[in-house]
């Protein structure tokens, strides 16, 4: 489109799209020129169009989308339970943009004020942080990938103490295995024994494939896709594990018919009731088996480098927490494990 501009003393005139625009009565030609320049800039360089408002999502809709995007995540059932908790606390129909730093801080304060949880004690820092971490992941995805949030609100996590090194005494271990044998869950004993004797994680045992079990060499190879560190490593079979696996007749597909932790959670909590770990008498958790294996490995004279390979740690620093349990460090203390 062509534009024609005219200016005379104390007046200007121009035509745009067949429409004449004229203004006069300026005090000077310079003032008329300044006004013409401003009008010309407004036409030739219009202000950028306003950015359309971002689509809105409720917390419930956002979690539905998030869980679909994370469908291959191993911890998806746990995330779904945490999402259910957050929707109940923050409101499933709450707009994502209304979940501000102040609202999150209020939720966190409510959790910190709980004096007695299901374990009859205040919530641990880990229990406080896990829902907050999931919420942060959700809000970050909403801002950076879905573009439905302008910014991610500040979320402050509680400081978590360094992981404790714990183990089961011989009597506690025997009691636990006896209870597992008597459980109505037919695979619970095998699950617990594998955890005690290999140090494998809770998420690695139920999904163990027979293709990863080499009975001739006496080793279990964990594929990178099934491990927390996304690294492949091999675990030697101890006698109890070899006997357990050799006795199982069906060796096709997966070692366990039910491959999700939810199939074992209730049964494990039943047999683990009142079972405590050394040295501080804390209640046993399934992850405690990993510390139990590593602790007894070192107390019976194992080497840190070998333990690193068995546990699949990325660095020796992670394994060093067990170094103080080596017999040459515990001067004068005799340690035996049945």
The answer on pLDDT for 335 being more than 70 is no
Q: Mean pLDDT for the chain?
A: 85
pTM recorded for the entire structure: 0.59
pLDDT at site 330: 47
pLDDT at site 222: 86
Q: Is 156 exposed, middle or buried (0-12, 13-18, 19+ CB in 10 A)?
A: exposed
Q: Which domain holds residue 105?
A: 59-144
Q: What percent of the chain has pLDDT over 70?
A: 82
Nearest to 107 by CA among 126, 90, 130, 124: 90
Identify whether 282 is part of a domain. Answer: yes
Residues 319 and 212 in one domain: yes
Higher pLDDT, 280 or 118: 280
Say which DSSP state 278 is in. Answer: B
Residues 131 and 239 in one domain: no
Residues 73 and 129 in one domain: yes
pLDDT at site 240: 96
Residue 2: pLDDT band (50, 70, 90) is very low
The answer on pLDDT for 163 being more than 90 is no
Residues 207 and 320 in one domain: yes
Q: What total number of domains does the chain contain?
A: 3
Handedness of CA 64, 76, 145, 153 (dihedral sign): positive
Angle (CA) 11-16-21 rounded to 5° is: 30
Distance CA 40, CA 304 (A): 77
Residues 176 and 307 in one domain: yes
Residue 8 tokens read as: 């005379």
pLDDT at site 338: 37
Give yes or no for a contact between 294 and 311, defined as CB atoms under 8 angstroms apart: yes
Higher pLDDT, 6 or 160: 160
The answer on pLDDT for 237 being more than 90 is yes
Residue 288 tokens read as: 């405690």
Identify whether 156 is part of a domain. Answer: no
Identify whether 162 is part of a domain. Answer: no
Residues 108 and 199 in one domain: no
**Mean pLDDT to the nearest integer, 226-255:** 85
CATH number of the domain where residue 210 is located:
1.10.443.10
Identify whether 253 is part of a domain. Answer: yes
pLDDT at site 74: 72
């Amino acid at each position: 489109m062509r534009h024609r501009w005219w200016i005379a003393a104390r007046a200007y005139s121009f035509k745009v799209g067949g429409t004449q625009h004229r203004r006069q009565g300026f005090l000077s030609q310079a003032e008329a020129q300044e006004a013409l320049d401003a009008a010309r800039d407004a036409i030739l360089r219009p202000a950028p169009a306003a950015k359309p408002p971002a689509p809105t999502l409720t917390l419930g809709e956002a979690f539905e989308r998030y869980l679909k995007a994370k469908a291959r995540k191993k911890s998806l059932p746990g995330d779904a339970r945490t999402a259910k908790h957050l929707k109940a606390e923050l409101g499933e129909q709450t707009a994502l943009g209304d979940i501000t730093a102040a609202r999150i801080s209020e939720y966190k304060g409510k959790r910190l004020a709980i004096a007695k949880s299901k374990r009859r004690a205040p919530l641990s820092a880990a229990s406080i942080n896990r829902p907050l971490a999931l919420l942060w992941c959700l809000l970050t995805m909403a801002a950076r990938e879905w573009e439905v949030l302008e910014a991610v609100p500040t979320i402050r996590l509680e400081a978590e103490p360094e992981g404790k090194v714990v183990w089961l005494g011989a009597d506690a271990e025997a009691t636990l295995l006896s209870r597992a044998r008597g459980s109505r869950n037919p695979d619970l004993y095998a699950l617990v024994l594998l955890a005690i004797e290999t140090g494998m994680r809770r998420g690695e045992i139920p999904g163990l494939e027979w293709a990863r079990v080499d009975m001739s060499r006496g080793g279990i190879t964990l594929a990178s896709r099934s491990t927390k560190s996304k690294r492949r490593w091999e675990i030697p079979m101890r006698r109890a594990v070899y006997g357990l696996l050799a006795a199982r007749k069906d060796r096709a597909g997966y070692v366990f018919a039910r491959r999700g932790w939810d199939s074992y959670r209730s049964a494990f909590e039943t047999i683990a009731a009142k079972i405590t770990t050394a040295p501080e008498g804390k209640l046993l958790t399934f992850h405690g088996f990993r510390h139990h294996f590593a602790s007894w490995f070192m107390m019976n004279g194992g080497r840190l480098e070998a333990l690193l390979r068995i546990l699949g740690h990325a660095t020796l620093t992670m394994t060093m927490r067990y170094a103080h349990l080596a017999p040459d460090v515990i001067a004068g203390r005799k340690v035996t494990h049945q």
